[in-house]
Amino acid sequence: MASLPAQTDTERAPGAGGDDEAAGAIGSGPKETSLGELGLLFLRLGTVAFGGPAAHIAMMQQEVVSRRKWLSDAAFLDLLGAANLIPGPNSTELAIHIGWARRRWAGLAVAGVAFIVPSMLMTGGLGWAYMRFGKVPSVSWLLYGVKPVICAVVVQAIWGLAPKAAPTTSLRVLAVAAVVLVALGVHELAVLLGAGAAATLIGGKAGTASERPTQATERKMLMAPIALASGVGASAATLPGLFWVFFKIGSVLFGSGYVLLAFVRAELVERLGWLTEPQLIDAIAVGQVTPGPVFTTATFIGYVLSGPGGALAATAGIFLPAFIFVAMSGPLVPRIRASQRAGAFLDGVNVASLALMAVVTVQLGRAALIDVPAAALALVSAVLLVRWKVNATWLILGGAVAGLMLNGLQGGSELRDGRLGDSRAVQITGADAARSSLVGLTEGLPQCFS
């Protein structure tokens, strides 16, 4: 292979001082980040980050790269690519990666837990209301105002990251190909690995080749999920049983929230019979109307099945693999970047990751920009982001207020409808179609739960 151009970004060039120095390069910043600052940031993001992983990633990019300068765009893209290559919730794993980059083991735990806890508490509270009253408040007005803002936030993040991810013609062509493949329905993991392989063959921009990882080191990151997923078995309908069921799912799951629900349906509805189809659809609705990781749907399901203890067991089970995978893969990211060939592979994964975000943003836009007021909210948010660099948190809160005001002007009919069963068609796009989609997805699932 021809020699590849050296990367000049200092955050991508590790020193020669061993593992600690190489691992530390990606987390270098203007000053050391305190655990309190790290925790408060991700608590806030976990409280207001509506819109799914693409929105979460966009908000993290604004806070960590644009505002605080903790990471460069290049380092952020490397962590995003690494998060996409391991099973589990991508945005949560990105938060954990950022915590590791800034404060190593303590930061890994603080950032991850802080991002998860707000959503866990909200979905757990909705689980309590669901079991106590048989209904939860409809918040379709909230999503109506927030989703257009999220569209603007994600587009602005993609616009800022794209030049860094694809500075060469070959990587731009690869990005377009990845968008087309994802839009045609090719599995996300296949697109990511294919883009990485293509970038390796054609030669993308890569880091300096001062340190070449061994083949065993390069394989370690990709083989970790296989090693961890093996030998995990479910038990009876007990707290340990709930933990292991969700631990298995978190250990092998790639893909969107709907893929998560497909695995849950295969295990809890069809095989074990712990959950009913209507309860599963209600869990989808709850996951859509709460901020933070959609994987906290497990918290709601755990509460429905076994109360507060079940909620904690299910939450711990679904998220624990993410912490393990990041702990294993995080120290390897600088080594991968230091290798010409592995760095080119990571460049391909990075452009494919942005392609995934772009396709998801188009889908979100089709669901969010449904009328003139929604489109106006998105446009105003985009202007505020680009021209005045307004914090995305304030924009999301403003979108929620706008949704409440517009709902009041329309008579507040959706707010008075409190039953999930009556309002879920408003709360999620195509909820009835989601049930048939889940049935179709589970028909093709690997038999890893038998």
Give per-residue pLDDT as tens, 158-167: 888 888 888 8
d(C-alpha 77, C-alpha 357), whole Å: 12
- 256 conformational bin, left if phi > 0, alpha if psi -120 to 50, beta if neither: beta
Q: Per-residue pLDDT for 139 more than 90?
A: no
- pLDDT reported for residue 145: 85
Domain borders along the chain are 27-228+324-443
Instruction: Mention every residue, 6+ apart, whose C-beta is less than 8 A from residue 184.
Output: none
The span from the CA of 95 to the CA of 60, in Å, is 8
- Residue 29: which pLDDT band, with cuts at 50, 70 and 90? low
- How far apart, in whole angstroms, are the C-alpha atoms of residue 269 and residue 23? 43
Tokens of 313: 């067991």
Contact partners, residue 252, CB within 8 Å, separation at least 6: 87, 225, 229, 446, 448
Q: Where are the alpha helices (DSSP H) in 330-430?
A: 333-338, 340-368, 372-388, 392-409, 413-416, 420-427
Distance, in Å, from the CA atom of 171 to the CA atom of 202, rounded to the nearest integer, reads: 9
Cα dist. 263→245, 273, 382, 428, 441 in Å? 10, 13, 36, 19, 8
Reference 89, options 244, 296, 283, 392; nearest CA is: 296
Average pLDDT, the chain: 77
Structure tokens at 447: 């038999």
* Backbone CA torsion sign across 83, 428, 442, 112: positive
The three-class DSSP label of residue 29 is coil
Tell me the C-alpha distance between 229 and 349, whole Å: 23
66 class by beta-carbon count within 10 Å (0-12 exposed, 13-18 middle, 19+ buried): middle
Which phi and psi angles does 274 have, rounded to 5°? -80, -25
pLDDT-derived band at 244 (thresholds 50, 70, 90) equals very high
| pLDDT band, residue 183 (cuts 50/70/90) | confident
What is the pLDDT, as a whole number, of residue 137?
63
Residue 417 has φ and ψ, to the nearest 5°, of -85, 105
Greater pLDDT, 277 or 60: 60
pLDDT band at 362 (very low <50, low <70, confident <90, very high): confident
Tell me which H or E stretch contains 312: helix 297-329
| pLDDT for 17 | 40
Lowest mean pLDDT among 138-142, 143-147, 230-234: 230-234
Per-residue pLDDT of 381-421, as tens digits, reads 999 988 888 877 788 888 889 988 887 777 655 444 333 33
Among 294, 289, 304, 299, which residue's Cα sits nearest to residue 415? 289
Higher pLDDT among residues 91 and 26, named by residue: 91
What pTM was computed for the model?
Answer: 0.73
What residue spans of 134-214 are helical by DSSP H?
A: 140-165, 169-183, 188-202
Going by C-alpha positions, the residue among 256, 88, 64, 27 that lies closest to residue 157 is: 64
As a whole number of angstroms, the distance between CA 344 and CA 325 comes to 22
- CA 234 – CA 246 distance, rounded (Å): 9
> Is there a contact between 64 and 27 (Cβ–Cβ < 8 Å)?
no
DSSP state of 64: I
User: In the predicted model, what is the mean pLDDT of residues 305-310?
Assistant: 94
Which stretch of 89-93, 121-125, 327-331, 439-443 has the lowest confidence by average pLDDT?
439-443
Tens of pLDDT, residues 185-229: 887 778 888 998 999 988 744 443 333 344 444 444 444 443 444
| Distance, C-alpha 279 to centroid of its chain | 24
Instruction: Check residue 149 and give its pLDDT.
Output: 87
